[in-house]
Amino acid sequence: MSNDRFIPLSVPNIAGNEWQYVKECLDTGWISSVGEYVNRFEQMVADFAGARFGVAAVNGTSALHIALLLSGVKYGDYVILPNLTFVASANSIRYLGAEPILIDADPLMWQMDLDLLEQFLQEQTVLEGEVLLLKKDRKPIRAIMPVHILGNLCDMDRFQSIISKYPIAVVEDSTEALGSTYKGRSAGRFSPLGCFSFNGNKIISTGGGGVIVTDDEQLAKHAKHLTTTAKASPDEYFHDEVGYNYRLVNVLAAIGVGQMELLPSFIKRKKECVAYYKASLQGVADISFQQELPEVETNGWLFTIRTEKQKQLLDHLNANKIMSRRFWMPMNKLPMYSHCLFVQHSDESDKIYNTCLSIPCSTGITDEELEIVQREIKNALS
């Protein structure tokens, strides 16, 4: 074992035509906010997810921001969100002047706990005409943002049957879940607008980037308009609403096209990693895994194990130059969101936060590296 070996958590894998496509952008001068690769990338992501339209954005956070805006979320509204998520989900809500209502995690699937959600809606909300209000202060609950945590999906049939009784919009944070399905339907397709992210550790990467997918042509056009400064005239600087400069530039979209060509092979490799880790770590110490429903095929985005010996394992892996990461700190523990309503029985988010560790699963990881990781996990816990 060489001393300079380091096994990263989940890093980009530039293995196809990315270089050639980027060179073409540079050679032709089409490097900026319009270009053939932007259109191609949008369509490839939409096709892959089974949607009619794709709208590129500068990152997943901005995609979520625009999707919430288009779903009618306004200043002073509430948006229901899982407490256990990456901060970008909550930030996208706050950008609109809205506040998250945080729902605790399911202890087995680590997604929003649907029992808690149902109970919350029944007990703590009230309908006023067509608007759902939080009983306590009678402010509108305008939307809910399910997050497909680690590429897993919750019981989406049950989710939809709970939600269908209430007049609230659904905006999926499917940023981690490109390639994941529930009953054959792609993540991002359980709401009118679904959002994907292509930052450095996602299953494919454009360095930074995002795409909104939808079947609704009007929504797609409006999303495009809002992400490109809302310019309403081709030859004059006439802007008809407050737009955003959220475009994904052609150079990055060119990387995205190269990455999309590789996505099926990336998903295959992620699944091999999941299968390998599950087989080799099953029954080791107190290790357990995120539960998946039989209806769910996940993209295996970021393999994560659970053990009471989190710190011991983290220290051992660090000392052995194997990168490993705790989960995101739950939203209710962050200063900006600590005052938010947190719906919970026994703070499962905190328990997950204190026991889970993500372990290396880059699509470019070698079999030898996988073997080293599982061996060192066993060494740490034995």
Ligand X SMILES: *Cc1c(COP(=O)(O)O)cnc(C)c1O
Q: Whose Cβ is closer to ligand X: residue 173's or residue 350's? A: 173
Q: Smallest gap, in angstroms, from Cβ of residue 279 to ligand X?
A: 27
| Interface segment toward ligand X; rule CB under 6 A; list 18-26, 67-75, 172-180, 362-370 | 172-180
Q: Smallest gap, in angstroms, from Cβ of residue 304 to ligand X?
A: 13
Q: Smallest gap, in angstroms, from Cβ of residue 144 to ligand X?
A: 15
Find out whether 357 and 328 touch, Cβ atoms under 8 Å: no
Tokens representing residue 362 in the block: 């880059």
Q: Smallest gap, in angstroms, from Cβ of residue 173 to ligand X?
A: 5
Binders of ligand X: how many residues, by CB under 6 A? Answer: 14
Q: Does 188 bind ligand X (CB under 6 A)?
A: no
Q: Whose Cβ is closer to ligand X: residue 199's or residue 299's? A: 199
Which residues 6+ apart lie within 8 Å of 315 measured at CB?
Answer: none
In DSSP notation, 106-134 reads: PTTT-SB-HHHHHHHHHHHEEEETTEEEE
**Tell me, what amino acid is at 324?**
S
User: Residues 86, 91, 93, 98: is their CA dihedral positive or negative?
Assistant: positive
Q: Whose Cβ is closer to ligand X: residue 88's or residue 296's? A: 88
User: According to CB under 6 A, which one of 42, 104, 106, 173 is a site residue for ligand X?
Assistant: 173
| Calpha distance 237→314 (Å, rounded) | 54
Neighbours of 137 (CB within 10 A): 8
Segment holding 172, helix H or strand E: strand 169-173
Find out whether 337 and 92 touch, Cβ atoms under 8 Å: no
Tokens representing residue 51 in the block: 């949607």
Residues of span 324-363 touching ligand X by CB under 6 A:
none
| Interface segment toward ligand X; rule CB under 6 A; list 6-14, 173-181, 286-294, 336-344 | 173-181
Tokens representing residue 72 in the block: 């009618």
Find out whether 70 and 193 touch, Cβ atoms under 8 Å: yes
Q: Smallest gap, in angstroms, from Cβ of residue 210 to ligand X?
A: 5
| Calpha distance 322→347 (Å, rounded) | 30
| Interface segment toward ligand X; rule CB under 6 A; list 19-27, 170-178, 268-276, 336-344 | 170-178
Q: Whose Cβ is closer to ligand X: residue 111's or residue 324's? A: 111
Nearest residue to ligand X on Cβ basis? 60
| Calpha distance 110→83 (Å, rounded) | 10
| Calpha distance 265→289 (Å, rounded) | 24
Q: Does 197 bind ligand X (CB under 6 A)?
A: yes
Q: Whose Cβ is closer to ligand X: residue 321's or residue 333's? A: 333
Q: Whose Cβ is closer to ligand X: residue 79's or residue 370's? A: 79
Q: Smallest gap, in angstroms, from Cβ of residue 298 to ligand X?
A: 14
Residues of span 46-105 touching ligand X by CB under 6 A:
59-61, 85-86, 88-89
Q: Whose Cβ is closer to ligand X: residue 199's or residue 310's? A: 199
| Calpha distance 126→138 (Å, rounded) | 8
Q: Whose Cβ is closer to ligand X: residue 176's or residue 348's? A: 176
Q: Whose Cβ is closer to ligand X: residue 267's or residue 372's? A: 267
User: According to CB under 6 A, which one of 56, 145, 147, 249 is a site residue for ligand X?
Assistant: 147
Find out whether 112 and 154 touch, Cβ atoms under 8 Å: yes
Tokens representing residue 262 in the block: 């590789």
Residues near ligand X (CB under 6 A) are: 59-61, 85-86, 88-89, 147, 173, 175-176, 197, 199, 210
